[in-house]
Structure 1
């Protein structure tokens, strides 16, 4: 592994841990973030010349601590700088970990503070802890990059102005914050499941694996929370399909075309067990539990022709009563096409244009429905829009092939 690769790998593995440690010690996310960034910048400059240190994580942590102390000394000219700097000495007693014994998960719960607006809370946490870029977060929320940047800036300003403490959440804090944390993990998982950037791998296993790991930890902390179990089941059932999702040629493989024998049977069995447990609980399911049940139907079918579309549609009908988002409505329309035909589904999809005009999956769905209706020219135009908006190379390759199968315009 060369020095550049080593820095990149260390960034993925150590960023959240370092930011979490510095935030605990200094109580200031800006200091933690900037010190970590400076440490990685120093690594980029020095490791190619000096070689990768034996313990990259320890090197980065030490460097970040020094950068934080320097920042504090610059900002505090008098006696209080010595007290702040003293906080990083190893001979100080460690701060209690609270209810969560995992640096990354602890920082996610800390950032998901109820005093922050939900959208700002999510954007800040995805950027600072999830490691997603501003464009990736913007694509997850279907908004402009500048809007996400403003949300993050406002969140930091609110933290400073209101003096919101970065204290470790106690066990009593977890239920009030868990919904925001689950949303963060779901969005991180989605970015790994199908990366939105053109310069990344189509599937980012590092993100999906980390999201699943952290959700398992939350499940252990809150074993009776149905939505935690639902999100874990949803992730496992989607992750189980990963071996069949991209062809050897680098093209996305649609669900109906996947080799189901390549799916991970152990993950499917675990996901199905969690879904059954929630059904047996007899409690009205939440959003993630219904999404998990939909994926359980898909992964129960040995062949796409065996899919129980009536059950899928019934579950989507239940879901839209909880979540009226246009993306859910779009996904429901796919099931409508299987039950009532593509013409009925197309009418549903067209009503979503104003809200989803910038979303590539909207145009891809329209293109497929128009193709099934024999409206080739319109289908080609919809594929063109989907290709222009898709950022994932595997998805672009798939959409291009489907468009080209229509023949000449």
Structure 2
């Protein structure tokens, strides 16, 4: 096993266990907040403000990652987040939970861009990049299948407070592991780092990046609606957290299914983005018209989600040179956060008036139209790496 492969194995292990531990809370937050007296609107505000903090952190993270390396911004935020999750277990009111959500959102903003930038730095070409992102996607999906089931059952067995203590302790252990086994891909002098990075303006000048960011917003808006609405069934309809965890796991199973179709990863990533977003949008319309088929349709949404997410990361690394990966992944993550922010707020406000699934369908189709227009202006076969 080469040194690069050895390092990648550790990156994959850390990202898998990190995602597994953090996703345990997916079916728990909304009902936990409700037990502390939070209304549906306040739960939406909590999710939105947490993502606003995440978005802010994403934009700050990009330049710091490019300048000072990735490992620092994997280990330190994970330690801080572990402590904050443990603090969740001591929350006694909705205000305290809101403050913890905001602080945790900011801390976690540094993790994913750093990890993705580090992983991408070990790829020598687009084919290796696609393979790395496909493996990453599969591991994250397996984690997202297991975690909601574990979270729902842990919530029933241990209670919300003990489960959050378990989540925080798990993150602290993983952060200790990163100290010994995660390494930046190369040692670069500070002067080199200061002189070689791209600016946000240069990254945003690339036409393909516009398509990627718009797709990221739309996909995460749709994802945010589902993450909000499905756990809230536990509050409205008296479902157990185990049952809502099972529904979220069905979506993740659909994602794993599409990620297993390895021939898809050889297709043009921008075309995969458009196809996946169209599929997700149409499935949201189907959920709006027939809630009884929700388990099947969640599987289908997950299937199209699995088409989009690896294509997103591959498209970013195709469009932007390595010296701008920190900023590029930071921007991508910030648009993910923006999608969650808007969807959480809008869903909390309008859910008693109009179906959030229908709103998500409309937004998906509007952005798909924008993407089609932008793609017509990009020359066929262009790699769009204008700043090397």
TM exceeds 0.5?
no
TM-score normalized with structure 2 length: 0.32
Q: Which has the higher contact order (CA 8 A, sep 6+)?
A: 2
Q: Which has the larger radius of gyration?
A: 1
TM-score normalized with structure 1 length: 0.31
Higher helix share: 2
